[in-house]
Amino acid sequence: MKRTLAVTLCLALSLLPAAARDAATAEQQIREALESWRRAFNAGDAGHVCDLFAPDLISNYQGQPERNYDSLCALLRGSLQDKKRAFDYGLDVKEILVSGDMAIVRLIWTLRITQKSAGEMRVSEEPGLDVFRRGRDGRWRIIRYLAYPATP
């Protein structure tokens, strides 16, 4: 009995570093996916601005209607085509929790909107919670997110 317990304990302990490495790799991949999206959006790259989102996305932003993949992508692409305003996102990842093929990210997006004609800028912080799933292709994509404007 003691030998079985010792073998089980050794096996469990040997798996911990691998699980920690897997979680660290997943966290890095998620950070890279978020940063890649930020760069694509800020560069006005409408062809890649939806890459971060899964086809079964459901998004909620306080005060806005619930959106799916198609409606969110239409909104993002429309923003990039806006002739009167320029949009720029900053990103502050607060926490990433990984469990297998799912992850939760707590973050703050900082959106800067500049009126092109006046050079006037408005800044808003948008805390949120993103739920990621690793797809069959190994890429992490957002399947759900909740966000809201920070109050001053």
**Which tens digits make up the pLDDT trace of 31-74?**
999 999 999 999 999 999 999 999 999 999 999 999 999 999 99
The pLDDT of residue 54: 98
The pLDDT of residue 8: 62
The pLDDT of residue 117: 86
Q: Where are the domains of the chain?
A: 2-147
The pLDDT of residue 119: 77
Split at pLDDT 50, 70, 90, the class of 10 is low
The pLDDT of residue 22: 85
Mean pLDDT of 15-30: 78
State how far the Cα of 97 lies from the Cα of 135, in Å rounded to an integer: 17
- SS3 assignment, position 123: strand
The pLDDT of residue 11: 55
Q: Kindly list the distances between the CA atom of residue 127 and the CA atoms of 11, 35, 68, 93, 110, in Å, as whole numbers in the listed order.
A: 40, 16, 20, 10, 9
DSSP 85-120: EEEEEEEEEEEEEEETTEEEEEEEEEEEEEETTTTE
Q: Which CATH architecture has domain 2-147?
A: Roll (3.10)
The pLDDT of residue 120: 85
Q: How confident is the model over 61-111, as pLDDT tens digits?
A: 999 999 999 999 999 999 999 999 999 999 999 999 999 999 999 999 999
Q: How confident is the model over 118-130, as pLDDT tens digits?
A: 878 899 999 999 9
